Structures are given as structure tokens and as C-alpha cells.
Amino acid sequence: MKATSGHYHSDGRWIEKVYYREEAARGESCLDDCYQPGYFEVDVKANKSGDFAIIAVADKKEDDARKILAEMPLTMYDVEALYEREKARHEISLTKFYEEQSGISSSDWLSWVVSATDAFLVRGTDDAQRSVIAGYPWFGVWGRDTFVSLPGLLLVTGRFEDTRKVFLTFKNYCKQGLIPNCLPEQSEPPAYNAVDATLWFVNAVLQYLKYTGDFMFVQNQLWGTLRNIMDSHVKGTIFDIHVDSDGLLSHGSQLTWMDVAIDGQPITPRGGKAVEIQALWYNTLKIMELLSKKFKEKGEAEKYLQMAEKAKASFAEKFWNFEKGCLFDVVSENTRDDSLRSNQIVAVYLDFVMLDRARNEGIVDVVQRELLTPYGLRTLSRSDPKYVGVYVGDRKSRDKAYHNGTVWPWLQGPFVSAFLKTKGYAEYRREYALKNFI
């Protein structure tokens, strides 16, 4: 640390029993001893004001942090110049965004959202590595979150070089046909306990192509990985992930985004065939069919077409809930879970869907009526006995609510897309969606 003016006084002392109110409310350890190594002192004349800045740098190695700190500004003028350069960088990015999205009017809230995307993109130990932080302050780099958010973070904002680096970073970690659920922060091995991270990866490839038309990058850099993904899923891979005899994708428990467990027991047990996983699997098959045709692999294209048709027929037969007019959440060998959850919106939102327009519109209507809030979709209908409507208390209390009622904003995007997809893109529909959903 250093300051642009004043003096630093080394005064190492402990402040004992600091009480953390938020941790207490969360049922966590809430008393701590805080070490104060020293303080900065700045002289300001009576009835006057003064400006100064304290600059802090952190890195994995102390020597690296010191090197960066040595290059930091020494005066307030330098600090303000650094601020202006960063401000100009964001303004250039915003100008580029609005120029490329000519049909979108500029607004303060949208500009803030576009600028905020920068904070979630993470550079690795070298410039070739890119990934996405799942959220602050708790989360690290997650494969699922990276590829769910990639279209909005990087494609809409025109950051195509960063997008390619994200693909290549995760491609290098692909193992047994799976994209990691979590990437290591230090030297730990990646975690692969997710059935959907890989499928969202494939979907992101399609979205990249829609924005760039860059088939050469996909063929030269990603096609081998995509083929390996498909072969591994068909043969069967870890965590009991495999294509079943009905053409749908079967998987173990705690592998979807609703993966919370208490004392080793899943709160939302979804092993078997979860609805959004089947939607993503069919979408993946159709993307592979499309790419196989593009890359003149007709035999592979025909194979994926047949697999997709089989999955589509099985999905329509097994997942439609005639009583509720929507989809079952999970289908397993002996049960069909009719919990009314937000996962089913994925089956309408994706580019390739398995149901006809009437059923898709019915799903949107049910989700809008039962799950929509101003901040996102509820994870469970309020009429369900398992519903927990408040996310407060200790860890167990919060975990029970995490996917059993808690509203998640990330689902708002898929819902709005599904709404317009089924209702039409007329101007009045888009205005309605903007006013009521965003």
C-alpha cells in the first residue's frame, strides 16, 4: 500500500472481538480479531479540504505485488489521469456497443450493465487465458455460469477475441468428454461434477457462430473437442452420465445447477433425467448435426439427426404433464417429479426445441403465472409444500430455500426470450416485455 500524500505510521496492534453482524445473521462465526498494521496520517488545515488516495495492490507473490505498486501513481494528478484513462476505455467500449447495436437506444441503466460486464471477465496467468467469475464475493470460475452468461457478457458486447480465449481455456480442461464445473484457483484439480456445463459450452459455440459466422475457428480449434464430447456421452462417462436406450441423457444426482446438499443429502434430488438437461441434450444434437453438415461429414450429420429424433419423441412422451399443462421437472425409471420449477423454461428458450408452439406457449403461460417476479423466476411454485419463500437464517435454513423458492435473476433472460419466441416479436410484444419483465 501507499498514499499520494501524508505519512504512514507502523503501529501494529490487534483489535479483539470484532462483531460481524451479517455473519451472525447467517449463523456463521461472527467474532474475529483484526490486525491493524498501521495507519496513514494526512495534515489538513482547519476549515480546509484535501484530496489524497490510498493505493493497494494484491497478487499471489509479494514481489509481484511490490513491482505493480512501484508502477502506480505517486500524485493525485497521476491518480486522476489513471481514472480518466479507465473512464475513456469504458466510454469507447460503450460507443462501440451502441454503434454495433444500432437498433437500441442508449440509456443509463443499459450503459451501466454493459460496463459491469467487464468486472466478470478474468484473465489467467497469461494473456491467452480467459474465464468468467460466477459472482462476487462467493464464487470462483464455474463452467456452467461461464457459458450461460457468455452470450450476454461477450457476444452482445462484441468481445469476440475474449470469447475465443474463453473457449480455448475451457477446451484445454475437457476430460472424458466433460467441461469442468469449476476451475481451480490455485493448484487444485478441476471439478467435473456437472452434467450441464458441457452442454452449455456447445450452446455457446452456436451463439458465437450466430454473431461471427466464424466456422473456421470452430472447425480448427473446437471440432475435435466437440466430437470427443459426443463420443463420451454416447459411450458413457463419469458421474453416470450416459445416453439411455430412449435417446435421452441420464445422469447422477447433484449434477444440475440445483445441486445443494445438507449433510450429504440433496435438497433437490434430480438424478435421472432432468428437464433442462434433456432440452440442452437435444439442442446439442441439433448443433452437432448442423456443424457436421457444414464440415461435410454427412455420415455424422445423419447419425446426430437420428439421435435427435429419438430424443425428441421420448421427451414428448415422457415429460409432458397433461394435468398442469407444462413439463415434469425430472423423469426417472419409476417416478415423474411434477414440481413446478423454472427449469422447464430452458426447453422453450433454446434454439432447437422438442415441442410444438402450442405446448411451448403453454409452458410460458404457466411459468409467467406461477413463477415470474420482477427480479427473476422462482425456483419452485408457492403452492408446492416444499416451497421456502425467504432466504434467511443459518446455512441449513438458507440451503433449504436456495432452489426451493428463491428467485434467480439469470432465469429472466431465458424467460423473456421464450416469451417473445412463442408470442411473436411484434413491436407491442417487445414493448410489453421491456415494461413488464426487464
Within a 10 A sphere around the Cβ of 107, how many other Cβ atoms?
9
Run of H or E including 12: strand 7-19
* Phi, psi of 248, rounded to the nearest 5 degrees: -90, 165
pLDDT, residue 135, reads 87
- Do 17 and 31 form a contact (C-beta atoms < 8 A)? yes
> How remote is the C-alpha of 23 from its chain's centroid?
26
In tens, the pLDDT along 105-157 reads 889 989 999 999 999 999 887 889 999 998 888 889 999 999 999 999 999 99
User: Following DSSP, what letter does each residue of 277-324 receive, concatenated?
Assistant: HHHHHHHHHHHHHHHHHHTT-HHHHHHHHHHHHHHHHHHHHHHEETTT
pLDDT-wise least confident of 9-23, 95-109, 329-343:
95-109
Q: Write down the residue that cell numbers 469442468 correspond to.
A: 180
Q: Write down the residue that cell numbers 454493459 correspond to.
A: 114
pLDDT band (50, 70, 90) for residue 407: very high
* Phi, psi of 229, rounded to the nearest 5 degrees: -60, -50
In tens, the pLDDT along 68-115 reads 888 887 889 989 998 999 999 999 999 999 998 888 888 998 999 999
Tell me the residue ranges of DSSP E strands in 43-88. 54-55
Q: Helix, strand or coil for residue 33?
A: strand
CA atoms within 13 A on the CB side of 235: 11
Mean pLDDT score across all residues of the chain: 95
Q: Helix, strand or coil for residue 335?
A: coil
The pTM (predicted TM-score) of the whole model is 0.93
In tens, the pLDDT along 359-405 reads 999 999 999 999 999 999 999 999 999 999 999 999 999 999 999 99
